[in-house]
Every structure is written in C-alpha cells, then in structure tokens.
Amino acid sequence: MLEYIIIGILVIIVIFELVILLNNKKQDNSDIIRELGTFKNDLTKEISAFKYDFSKDLLEDFTKLNERLEVRLFEINEKVNQKIEQNFDKTNKTFNNVLERLTKIDEAQKNIDDLSKDIINLQSVLTDKKTRGTFGEVNLNYILTSIFGEKRTVYDIQHKLSNNAIADAIIFAPDPLGSIVIDSKFPLENYERMTDKTLGKVERDSAMKMFKADVKKHIDDIHNKYIIDGETSDEAIMFLPAEALFAELNAYHPDLLQYAYNNKVWLCGPTTLMATLSTISMILKNMERDKYTKVIHEELNKLGIEFKRYKERWDRLSKSIDSVSTEVRDIHTTTDKISKKFESISSVDIEALDYHEDV
C-alpha cells in the first residue's frame, strides 16, 4: 500500500514537470520528448531502486518483528507453563485434601453406623430388668474404683447385711458417718413411656403415675433393707445410673425428692454420686490425718516429759561436775603446796647442816 502511494506521488511530480515544460516556449517539442524519455528512464530506475530498497527494509523489519514475536511468545509460553504447573500442584493438593476428607467422612460414617448398632444393642440390653441391674452395678463399681481405688478397705460390693439383704455397695466410714449403703435402681420402662411424645396425654400421665410409684417403691425398699440401727448409717443412697432420670426427678418431681428426704434416702446420678463419694473420701482422709495428728501430739507430749526429766538429770549432773571441779581445783592447790614443800626440803644441804651443828 505504501509503495503505491509513493508511485502516485512520483507520477504527480512528473505530470507537474511536463506542464512546466509545455509552458516553456523556449523549448521545442523534440527537446520535450527527449527530456521526457530521459526523465522516464531515470524515473524507472529510481522506482526500481526504491522498490528494491523498500522491499529489503520491509523484509528486514518483518524478520526482526518475527524474531521479537518468537521471543515474546516463548516467554509467554514459559509463564503459561509455570502457571499451569502451579495451578496443577494446587489442584492436586486440593484433590488430595478432598480425598482425605472423603476418607475421614467415610470412616466417621462407619463409626456412626457402628455406634448406631451399639445403641440398638444397648437399648435391647436395657429393656431387660436383670441386665439393667447389672449395668447399674457395673457403673457403680467403676465409680467406686475411680474414687477409692482397687483396695476395698473403705468400701465393699455385694455386701451381705445382718438381715440377709445384699447391698450393691457399702462405704465403711467411721463415726459419725457410719457405714453408708448404696443401692442401684433403674426405673426405665415407665420413664420412657411418660417422655414419649408419640403417645397420647392419657397414656403419658398414666406412665408418670406408675413411674412415681416405681421410685417410691425403690425408696421404701432401700429404707427398709439397708438402714439398720447399730449396723449402718441412718441414711442410704439410691444410685440412678442414667443422668436423665436424675435430672427428671430434680426438675419435675419435687414431691419424690421430699419423699426420699423423709425416708433418709439420697438420690444420686453418676455425676452427683462421684461428687458425694469424693467428699466422703476427703472426710475419711481428714479423719485419718486427724487421728495421726493426735498420735503425734501424744508422742510429742511424752517426748516433752522425757526431755524435762533429762533436763533435771542434766542439771544435777552439772552441779555434781561443778562440785567436783571445785574440789579438783582445791586438790590441785594443795598438791602445789606439798610439791613446793618437797622442793624446799630437797634443796637443804645436809652436810653443811652437820658442820654447823659440830661447831
């Protein structure tokens, strides 16, 4: 396109010069024709040279432009590859994280399924009174072991009393506490029926009455069997293995709590039983510590008496030592005097004494 523009400009210049030549009257037609021929040849050469130079420059420009484009495209390709690799690494990590989470979710789902089976099994176990009793006894034994340890010096399980009643557990506490009996009770059937929202109000009210009757019967049994004058404490504990039962009684049945209080039976769930036993354990430790403190105090008093005797004897000995020391000093003085006498006697000249006597 640029080449055609340049050619057009040159043609316009030629036409302009031809017009000037035609207007010049001093020249004739032959000169004009000759000059036009010469100009045409020169113009053809110049156009050919221009076309050659233009093509050469254009080719060089295109070559340089192509090289720059190749370098730029290579740089762009490298950056694109880096971005793709980075995105691939991030995508791979994200995919691995997703796989790990899916694996954990799958494991959690399996655990939930297993837990559901265990809950179903537990429900099937708790539907039987005997197995419920065993469950309560095992739970009670676990709490006792956690508080007092394995050694049964403070407590005993399945303890037989003088009236042939067998208590689930008994705490051997000294006076004024006395031996406290703990019995596990699990009134579950009527509790489940009275809290079942699918049942009608009449059925739930009837179940509530039976639940109250069950709890009162358990309180009466514990009061009559496990509170024995002169053998146990005048109080006993009814252990409810389920916190829901304990919460139900404390929240909605104050009459049952009052009934238990009147019969000196204390209701405890797992948490409150642990707190109660921990308190008893602390009391026992304090009593044991006080007992040893009393023994230490008695021994210190005895030691004080012996030390007083020791002081008296030491005083007498000290006086005797002082007296002996005085006598020793006196004897030492007498000894010095006798020694001087002996020295003066030894220093006498017997021969001189005889001579003087003869004279």
Phi, psi dihedral angles at 127 (to 5 degrees): -75, -15
Tokens found for residue 217: 């019967």
Phi, psi dihedral angles at 32 (to 5 degrees): -65, -45
One-character DSSP codes across 94-106: HHHHHHHHHHHHH
Phi, psi dihedral angles at 236 (to 5 degrees): -140, 165
For the beta carbon of residue 259, count every other beta carbon within 10 angstroms.
16
For the beta carbon of residue 54, count every other beta carbon within 10 angstroms.
13
Question: What local confidence, expressed as pLDDT, does residue 348 receive?
Answer: 54
Question: What local confidence, expressed as pLDDT, does residue 26 receive?
Answer: 46
- Averaged pLDDT for residues 305-325: 73
SS3 127: coil
| pTM for the whole structure | 0.49
């484009």: which residue's tokens?
A: 69
pLDDT digits (tens, 9 = 90+) for 34-91: 665 665 666 677 667 666 666 776 777 777 777 887 888 788 878 877 887 787 777 7
pLDDT digits (tens, 9 = 90+) for 240-260: 988 888 888 888 899 999 999
Tokens found for residue 346: 């030894």
Apex CA 274: angle with CA 267 and CA 282, to 5°?
115
* Of residues 282 and 33, more confidently modeled: 282
- Residue 214: which pLDDT band, with cuts at 50, 70 and 90? very high
- Averaged pLDDT for residues 159-163: 91
